[in-house]
Structure 1
Amino acid sequence: MHTQKQCISKRKVNDKTEEYFLKDEFEADKPVLNGSLEFLRNFNMSENPLKVQYRTVSLKGQRMKHVLSSIPRITHTHTLHSLRMYSPLNTSRKEIRLLHIHPGNWNDGIECHMETVSLKDYPKFQAISYVWGDTTNKLSITVDGKNLAVTQNVVTGLQRLRATGETLALWLDAVCINQSDIHERSEQVQCMREIYSSADEVFIWLGYGRNLHSPSEQPDIVRWTGEDEDLEIVDSYFKQGTLQNSPNEEGNETEDVVGLFVYMKLRAMNKHVHEIPFFDVKGGKLQAGQSWLAIIQAMHTLSSHPWWTRIWVVQETILARKATVLYGKITVPWTLVGESTRAAARHIHCCGDLHQARGGRELRAIVELRKARYDDLEWLRAARAQKKKLSLYQVMSRTYSRNATDVRDEVFGVLGLVTDWLGQSPLIPDYDLSPCEVFMRVVTKHIQSTLSLHILMGTTRTGIPHVPSWVTQRGRTSQSSSSATGYRINRAVLFSAAGGRPASVRRASNVLITDAFEPSLTVSQVGSTLPGNHNWRELIDCIASWRHMAQLENPTDHTLGLKNPQNEAFWRTIIHDSWQPQRMNSVDILSAQLDFSGEVFTAYRRCGDTDVNRIAEGFWDWAQSQAKGDLKKSEEHTSSMNEIKAFYHSLLGAILDRRFFIASNGCMGMGPPEMQPGDSIVILLGSTVPFCIRAMQDAPNGNYRLVGDAYVHGLMDGEGVPNDCEEKIVQIHIH
Structure 2
Amino acid sequence: MRFRNILSNVRVSQNLHFLLGNYRYDPLPSASCIRLLELVPSADRRVVQCSLRPFELQDAPPFQALSYTWGNPLTPISKPSAALKARRSHISGRIPERLPKEIEPSGGVRRHSIICDGQIIKVTSNLRDALHMLANSMTSQEVPMTPRYYWIDSLCMDQQNILERNAQVAKMADIFKAAKSVTVWLGKEDEFTKDALTTIRRISAIPEEDWSLTSYTSFYEPAFTRQRSRPNLSFHNWLGFIALINRPWFKRAWVVQEIALAKSASVICGSQSFAWEDLSKTLSFIRATKWYHHLRTEKLRHVAEIQKNPGIYKRVLQARLDVGIGPLYLDATRLKMSISGRLNTQGRNRKPPLRLLLDTHRFSKSTDPRDKIYAFLGLADKRMAPFRTQPNCLTPNYNLSVQEVYTEAARVLLTSSGSLSLLSHVQDHSQTQIRNLPSWVPDYSVALAPYPLRFRSPGIIKASKAPWKMNVFTMANGQLDVQGYRLDSVDQTSVLPNESPDPSASWASIVKLALSLEYPYPGLKKSERNPSRVEVLWRTLTTDTYNKTYPAPSHTGFLFIDYILNLQIRHRLTPWSSSDEFQPHHSPLSDSIYPEWRTLLQLEPIESPYNYRSYKQRLATVVESMFNGKYSPIGLAQLQHEFDQSGGTKRRLFKTRIGYLGTGPRSLRQDDEVWILNGGGAPFVLRRLPNGNYRLIGEAFVYGVMQGEVHGMGLPRRQIVIE
**TM-score, length-normalised on structure 2?**
0.69
2:718 — aligned with what?
730
- Partner secondary structure for residue 416 of structure 1: coil
State the one-letter code of the partner of 2:722: I
Q: Describe the shift of the 1:391–1:350 C-alpha distance in structure 2 as closer, same or farther (beyond 3 A).
A: closer
2:433 counterpart of 1:463 = yes
1:495 — aligned with what?
461
Q: Describe the shift of the 1:617–1:347 C-alpha distance in structure 2 as closer, same or farther (beyond 3 A).
A: closer
> How many Å apart are 1:568 and its aligned residue?
2.2
In 1, the alpha carbon distance for the partners of 2:146 and 2:483 equals 66
Q: Describe the shift of the 1:538–1:419 C-alpha distance in structure 2 as closer, same or farther (beyond 3 A).
A: farther
State the one-letter code of the partner of 2:332: W
2:260 counterpart of 1:318 = yes
1:485 — aligned with what?
451
**Alpha carbons 2:543, 2:646 under 8 Å: kept:** yes
2:569 — aligned with what?
625
2:112 counterpart of 1:139 = yes
Q: Find the partner of 1:714 among 704, 710, 716.
A: 704
2:98 counterpart of 1:118 = no
1:181 — aligned with what?
161
2:200 — aligned with what?
264
Q: Describe the shift of the 1:150–1:686 C-alpha distance in structure 2 as closer, same or farther (beyond 3 A).
A: same
Q: Describe the shift of the 1:500–1:528 C-alpha distance in structure 2 as closer, same or farther (beyond 3 A).
A: same
The C-alpha deviation readout for 1:274-314, integer Å capped at 9, x for no partner, is: 99xx9534999x9999xx68756643542232111111111
In 2, the alpha carbon distance for the partners of 1:172 and 1:661 equals 51
**Alpha carbons 1:128, 1:172 under 8 Å: kept:** yes
1:87 — aligned with what?
27
Q: Describe the shift of the 1:635–1:270 C-alpha distance in structure 2 as closer, same or farther (beyond 3 A).
A: farther
2:381 — aligned with what?
419
Q: Describe the shift of the 1:389–1:87 C-alpha distance in structure 2 as closer, same or farther (beyond 3 A).
A: closer
Q: Find the partner of 1:395 among 357, 368, 385.
A: 357
1:343 — aligned with what?
285
Q: Any stretches of 5+ residues in structure 2 without a counterpart?
A: 1-15, 73-107, 140-144, 341-349, 520-529, 575-618
Give 1:194-593 correspondences, 5 Å limit. Answer: 194-210=174-190, 248=191, 255=192, 257-258=193-194, 260-270=196-206, 279-281=223-225, 295=237, 298-346=240-288, 358-359=305-306, 370-371=323-324, 374-387=327-340, 388-419=350-381, 421-422=384-385, 423-424=388-389, 425=391, 426-457=393-424, 458-459=426-427, 460=429, 462-473=432-443, 482-486=448-452, 489-491=455-457, 493-502=459-468, 504-506=470-472, 507-519=474-486, 521-531=488-498, 537-550=504-517, 565-580=532-547
State the one-letter code of the partner of 2:28: P
Give the alignment's Cα RMSD to 1 decimal. 4.2
- Partner secondary structure for residue 675 of structure 1: coil
**Alpha carbons 1:500, 1:688 under 8 Å: kept:** no
- Partner secondary structure for residue 721 of structure 1: helix
In 1, the alpha carbon distance for the partners of 2:505 and 2:444 equals 24
Figure out how many residues of one structure are paired with residues of the other and give that number: 567
Q: Describe the shift of the 1:108–1:520 C-alpha distance in structure 2 as closer, same or farther (beyond 3 A).
A: closer
> How many Å apart are 1:474 and its aligned residue?
8.2
Looking at both structures, which has the greater relative contact order when contacts are Cα pairs under 8 Å and sequence separation is at least 6? 2
State the one-letter code of the partner of 1:462: T
**Alpha carbons 2:17, 2:120 under 8 Å: kept:** no
Q: Describe the shift of the 1:662–1:260 C-alpha distance in structure 2 as closer, same or farther (beyond 3 A).
A: closer
In 2, the alpha carbon distance for the partners of 1:281 and 1:640 equals 20
> How many Å apart are 1:268 and its aligned residue?
0.9
> How many Å apart are 1:516 and its aligned residue?
1.4
Calculate percent identity across the aligned residue pairs. 23
Q: Any stretches of 5+ residues in structure 1 without a counterpart?
A: 1-75, 211-247, 249-254, 553-562, 581-602
- Partner secondary structure for residue 524 of structure 1: strand
- Partner secondary structure for residue 378 of structure 2: helix
- Partner secondary structure for residue 494 of structure 2: strand
In 2, the alpha carbon distance for the partners of 1:104 and 1:206 equals 24
1:704 — aligned with what?
694
Q: Describe the shift of the 1:520–1:206 C-alpha distance in structure 2 as closer, same or farther (beyond 3 A).
A: closer
The C-alpha deviation readout for 1:591-631, integer Å capped at 9, x for no partner, is: xxxxxxxxxxxx432126x2665443232123323445699
The C-alpha deviation readout for 1:456-513, integer Å capped at 9, x for no partner, is: 114246221311111125896xx8xx54335665436523111253453434334333
- Partner secondary structure for residue 455 of structure 1: helix
1:101 — aligned with what?
39
2:125 — aligned with what?
152
> How many Å apart are 1:575 and its aligned residue?
1.8
2:661 — aligned with what?
668
In 1, the alpha carbon distance for the partners of 2:281 and 2:231 equals 25
1:647 — aligned with what?
639
Q: Describe the shift of the 1:678–1:296 C-alpha distance in structure 2 as closer, same or farther (beyond 3 A).
A: closer
1:604 — aligned with what?
549
2:582 — aligned with what?
none
State the one-letter code of the partner of 1:329: S
- Partner secondary structure for residue 578 of structure 1: coil
> How many Å apart are 1:542 and its aligned residue?
4.2
Q: Describe the shift of the 1:442–1:298 C-alpha distance in structure 2 as closer, same or farther (beyond 3 A).
A: same
In 1, the alpha carbon distance for the partners of 2:698 and 2:326 equals 31
Structure in which a larger fraction of residues adopt strand: 1
**TM-score, length-normalised on structure 1?**
0.68
- Partner secondary structure for residue 485 of structure 1: coil
